[in-house]
Amino acid sequence: MPVLHVREVDGYLHFDPEECRAEGAKRAGAYAAAQPFPHAVIDDFLDTDLLRRVIAQFPSTQGRDHFDRSQERLKYQFHPETIESGLIRNLLAELNSDAFIRFVEGISGIKGLIPDPYYSGGGLHETKAGGHLSVHADFNIHGRMKVERRLNLLIYLNDDWPSEYGGNLELWDQAMTGAQESVAPLIGRAVLFNTSLDSFHGQPEPLLCPPDRARRSIALYYYTAFPEGAGAAPKRSTVFKSRPGSPDKTDWQVRGQHFVNDWVPHKLQSAARKVLSRVGLS
């Protein structure tokens, strides 16, 4: 039985608000106590047959741009506007709904959560064979809404996924001494975790699946407004970290951007970014 049931009314799929609230609340204690930062790994989160329908309607990567650099290889993102499946659009909308927000607020204890109607970085994700995503902490301020990112939700869509394919999500400690948890991306498994400037995570090992397979997931992010009278947090783009003893490369481009944001007077930042661009750091 799935943790959350998706009900249908006149062809529209939706969550039940009270079920979402109750299922979130019962997991709150374990979520808060999880290490290396608050998180939950939940199997059978949604109905497997529903997720197999999503897989069957997953969009093609043909002709689409993707990330392909040292820190992230062969990774595709699909915004809802680029997805032709009504089923997938419906499900993504419901994962941003009031009913589902009751679940994420209940389990995380974070009140006043704001879904992202722009799906900035969210929607569907796919990583091809040989691809990876280095350990990182995510961007923390939404560019359009100017709110603070607080939670990431991943729901995996990988049916018949042997362990030798790899693709595990790793959660690392703040000091980057090692992975504290490794999560196989199996169909129906959801991972929800707090995001902060040191919630380091990633899929750092290259995928070993056959060329005709890929690692797929649903990804949603949730935010809160800054408390009244409080200043905004320092703005950060995605910060990649190097694992000890690994060939992971430092992302000097991002480090340069953060140096300008933090230390260069606002009126001079444009000129400073031009200098970084000339030396290949922007």
Integer Cα distance of 139 and 239 in angstroms: 7
Enclosing domain of residue 95: 6-234
Q: What is the CATH number of the domain that holds 200?
A: 2.60.120.620
Residue 192, pLDDT score:
98
In a domain, 93, yes or no: yes
Integer Cα distance of 62 and 161 in angstroms: 23
Number of structural domains, the chain? 1
In a domain, 33, yes or no: yes
In a domain, 272, yes or no: no
Q: Tens-of-pLDDT digits for all 282 residues of the chain?
A: 999 999 999 999 999 999 999 999 999 999 999 999 999 999 999 999 999 999 999 999 999 999 888 889 899 999 999 999 999 999 999 999 999 999 999 999 999 999 999 999 999 999 999 999 999 999 899 999 999 999 999 999 999 999 999 999 999 999 999 999 999 999 999 999 999 999 999 999 999 999 999 999 999 999 999 876 555 666 667 777 788 888 877 665 555 554 445 545 655 656 655 655 665 555
Residue 240, pLDDT score:
79
Residue 274, pLDDT score:
63
In a domain, 280, yes or no: no
Residue 280, pLDDT score:
56
In a domain, 45, yes or no: yes
At 15, list the tokens.
Answer: 């969550």
Residue 217 phi, psi dihedral angles, 5° rounding = -160, 160
> What DSSP line would sit under 186-255, residue for residue?
-TT-EEEEE--TT--EEE-SPP-S-TT-EEEEEEEEEEEPPPTTPPPPPP---EE-PPTTS-PPP-HHHH
Give yes or no for a contact between 83 and 123, defined as CB atoms under 8 angstroms apart. Answer: yes
In a domain, 276, yes or no: no
In a domain, 278, yes or no: no
In a domain, 174, yes or no: yes
Residue 259, pLDDT score:
47
